[in-house]
Amino acid sequence: MKTNIYHTHYCKDLDISKIDEKVKVSGWIENIRDHGGVLFLDLRDNTETLQVVSSDDSIFKGLTKEILYGKLDNM
């Protein structure tokens, strides 16, 4: 895969082998859900959907379903 300023991996390329590895993905936000202290963000690219899970809601601050490019700095 050719990397660029927007991503180092496609969503389909992420699996358990990438834990603790710094990756950059890009796509559009399909959904954001708050389940009482645990937040879920579904990020889609042209290959798959990636679910980001966090108990720190500050990393999702300013992101909405309409945002096409955003950055999660605290990950």
Alpha carbon distance 56, 68 (integer Å): 21
The per-residue pLDDT for range 30-50, each reduced to its tens digit, is 999 999 889 999 999 999 999
Q: In the chain, pLDDT over 90 holds for what percent of residues?
A: 57
Strand order from edge to edge, sheet including 39-44: 28-34, 39-44, 49-54
User: Has this prediction a pTM greater than 0.85?
Assistant: no
CA trace torsion 24, 29, 34, 37 (10° rounding): 10
The domain limits of the chain are: 1-14+28-75
Indicate whether 62 pLDDT > 90. Answer: no
